[in-house]
Amino acid sequence: MRSLPRIVPDGTAIPFFRYRYWAFVGSLVVMLLAIVMMVVRGFNLGIDFAGGILLEVRTPGPAPLAQMRATLGGLGLGDVALQEAGAEDLVMIRVVRQPGDESAQQAAVEKIKQAVEALLGAGVEWRRAEYVGPKVGEELRRAGTLAVVIALIGVLVYLWFRFEWQFGVAAIAACIHDVFAVLLVFSLSDLEFNLSSIAAILTVVGYSLNDTVVVFDRVRENLRRYKAMPIDQLIDKSINETLARTVMTTATTLLALLALYIFGGPVIRGFTFAMLFGILIGTYSTIYIAAPILYYLNLRPAAAAAAARETP
């Protein structure tokens, strides 16, 4: 029986390192553009960060989300988000904060209730009504930023202990690049930026780190094995040797995310879109940011001697 062809044939030798300058320039442009867009355009902040109204309602039967979304969207209250809250007859309604004081928020709540009751008739049960003020939104923004910073510091500490310091610095540079790239997508696309967006950024950082550690493990092994090989050739060899694993992991992850993007509905579409882009950019940054930076951090076979003394 003939064996199936490999996705990445044995002996593949793509000269990734040759294109590092183009990659560095492109990545620098992306990061600068992200900074400019965050200052000039900003983000489409969701209720979590901008404040707003949160309602939970139980409908008489399975909730007609499409009709409810169309009805509430026509009330002139700004962005309205609906999603099932654990059951097909339980709906969470989120509305952006209305201009004015608390009385303006109460008026918006009554307007929503009247519209829903007119649409669904008797039997509507309002289980919760909350107002997220701007102070709470500011605290959530601060907590989200702190979560990303702590994650990056944790990555640096972890890689510093597991590898040489050069590996930690290179991985952090790649992760920072990924964060800026995802932030640029949110700013350009006008996707709602909320706590789910922070979760998407942290997930992209975790995926990128996982891919980077796989390549770094092979780099460390090859440093021990090929002590006389020039470092640029060794990095290319390490990337090519792990390329099959990278392609398979990226492809299967993208298929799952694509299914979520197509069939998951509008509630998680922003999250899955950010993840789709983030997975691709995380794979790119491992190959063209993290690995080439090792070359400029004086990673030489002398570092392999210290690594060889470590217990596997």
Q: What is the pLDDT of residue 34?
A: 92
d(CA 91, CA 68) in angstroms, rounded, equals 10
Per residue in 58-94, pLDDT (tens digit) is 888 888 888 888 888 888 877 787 877 667 778 888 8
Q: In the predicted model, what is the mean pLDDT of residues 37-47?
A: 82
> What average pLDDT does the chain have?
80
Q: Between 96 and 135, whose confidence is greater?
A: 96
Q: Which two tokens stand for residue 69?
A: 């979304």
Say what the pLDDT of residue 308 is: 44
Give the model confidence (pLDDT) of 232-260 as tens digits: 888 888 888 888 888 888 888 899 888 88
Give pLDDT tens digits for 26-35.
Answer: 999 999 999 9
- What pLDDT score was predicted for residue 7? 63
Inform me whether the pLDDT recorded for 99 exceeds 90: no
Query: Domains (ranges, CATH) in the chain?
Result: 16-44+137-308 (1.20.1640.10), 52-132 (3.30.70.100)
Q: Say yes or no to pLDDT of 189 above 60.
A: yes
Give the H/E segment covering residue 98: none
Beta strands of 100-144 (E only): which ranges?
Answer: 125-132
C-alpha to C-alpha distance for 274 and 104, rounded to whole angstroms: 33
Residue pair 272/264 in contact by the 8 Å Cβ criterion? yes
Rounded mean pLDDT, 4-9: 57
Strand partners, 126: 57
Residue 265 has pLDDT above 70, yes or no: no
- Indicate the pLDDT class of residue 36, thresholds 50, 70 and 90: very high
Sign of CA dihedral 67, 69, 70, 72: positive
Question: pLDDT: is 98 or 168 the higher one?
Answer: 168
